[in-house]
Amino acid sequence: AQLNMELDNLQAEREAATVSVAAADLVRYEALSRKLSGLAVASLHEGTCTACGLTITPSMQQVIRGGADLVNCPQCGRILYAG
């Protein structure tokens, strides 16, 4: 019963968080999540993708840090964000 309550709370939080996400971005995220065993997003740490370790070009790092567009890692395909 406690796990079901926690699951309901997490689903409500997810629904609230996705309200401000563009529909196309949400579809993209969900497709990646299914394809990549639930890990669709990785952070950019010291210029590398934390999921696969690929060094990201400085120009791509700038785009990621800008946050205006979603950028996928060229190697593993995950959406990168500047943590």
Task: List, for residues 29-68, the tens digit of each pLDDT value.
Answer: 999 999 999 899 999 999 999 999 999 999 999 999 998 8
Give the mean model confidence (pLDDT) for residues 8-12. 94
Does this model's pTM top 0.85?
A: no
* Other CB atoms within 10 A of residue 22 CB: 10
Q: In this model, does residue 81 exceed pLDDT 90?
A: yes
Q: In this model, does residue 83 exceed pLDDT 90?
A: no
Question: Is the dihedral angle over the CA atoms 80, 36, 38, 20 positive or is it negative?
Answer: positive
Distances (CA, A) of 68 to 7, 11, 25, 35, 71: 31, 26, 12, 24, 9
